[in-house]
Amino acid sequence: MTAEIIVVTSGKGGVGKTTTSASLATGLAMAGKKVAVIDFDVGLRNLDLIMGCERRVVYDFVNVVHGEATLKQALIKDKRHDNLFVLAASQTRDKDALTQEGVEKVLDGLSEDGFDYVVCDSPAGIEKGAHLAMYFADHAVVVVNPEVSSVRDSDRILGLLASKTRRAEKDESPVTQHLLLTRYNPARVAIGEMLSVKDVEEILGIEVVGVIPESENVLTASNNGIPVIVDATSQAGQAYSDTVARILGEERPLRFIDVPKKGFLQRVFGG
């Protein structure tokens, strides 16, 4: 039994990779899977903050890669889910502290420990850290915002996923690609300020696995160290739940992609 490795990547920074990693990992754990989420952004670690475990980091990913700590010592158990673990990045090192062998060793270790899923939160860019995060992946969640520069960077990443991963190098079946559209604002799409779901699908030539609406809840949740998926009342949380279900093979219609219709009173008094 080997763990399924999912990389969350984008090329461009600030599009919501870490938010997505945290919610995806939490969602998989809520579905009963044993999940580890690893922060590959060595030197600029954030995942621990979003997961709300920043004060419990003793050993990190780099320590394990270098054999200075065991996986058991470094994995931080989530406070809400017993089957969810965080492996934080090191803030004091840089990306060169990671090696391909070291990463492979950690991923193999997680497989042996009976993990079902390992979510790899990739740093921005296409350099070493991002390369290592995607190299061993079975699935990739490419996070994209509805704007042209993000779409182009995602296109680049999709190309790299098809050529610079272990699966590509060994001529195995390719990495399964999922496109996740985040920060989607239907109102701005309607007036032509943002690319639509259809535009993005057309430019990149693959279908979206989910659309996360732009929402204040995301920021609030992040600041409180709670993955937004835990907030079942928020649209973003529900959209992430749908996305996780789709990645697990369920069929669910897209929600929150149309401008909400205003009620009569709102139309009269302004909404």
Partner 1 sequence: MKAGSATDVADACDLRFGQVGIACVRVRRVDAAALCDELERRVRAAPQMFARAAVVLDLSHLLNLPDDGAVDALLEAVRSAGMLPVGLAYGTSETEALARRMGLPLIAKFRAAYEPAQSGPLAAEPAPRAEPAPAVQREPILSAPPPGSMQGALHHAGSVRSGQQVYARDRDLIVTGAVANGAEVIADGNIHIYGGLRGRAMAGAQGDGKARIFVSDFRAELVAIAGQYRVFEQIPRDLEGRSVQCWLEGDKLLIARL
Binding site residues, partner 1, CB under 8 A: 152-153, 155-156, 158-160, 162-163, 168-169, 203-205
Smallest separation (angstroms) from partner 1 to the CB of 177: 11
Name the amino acid, one letter, at 16. Answer: G
Smallest separation (angstroms) from partner 1 to the CB of 162: 6
Nearer to partner 1, 34 or 131 (CB): 131
Nearer to partner 1, 152 or 166 (CB): 152
Nearer to partner 1, 4 or 153 (CB): 153
**Ramachandran assignment for 178, one of left (phi > 0), alpha (psi -120 to 50 degrees), beta (any other):** beta
Smallest separation (angstroms) from partner 1 to the CB of 151: 9
Token match 């999940």: residue? 35
Nearer to partner 1, 152 or 188 (CB): 152
Name the amino acid, one letter, at 57. Answer: V
Smallest separation (angstroms) from partner 1 to the CB of 164: 9
Q: Is the dihedral of CA 147, 130, 87, 6 positive or negative?
A: positive
Could you tell me where the DSSP H helices lie in the chain? Answer: 17-30, 47-50, 61-65, 71-74, 100-112, 128-135, 148-163, 166-169, 186-190, 197-204, 216-223, 235-247, 264-269
Smallest separation (angstroms) from partner 1 to the CB of 156: 4
Nearer to partner 1, 62 or 208 (CB): 208
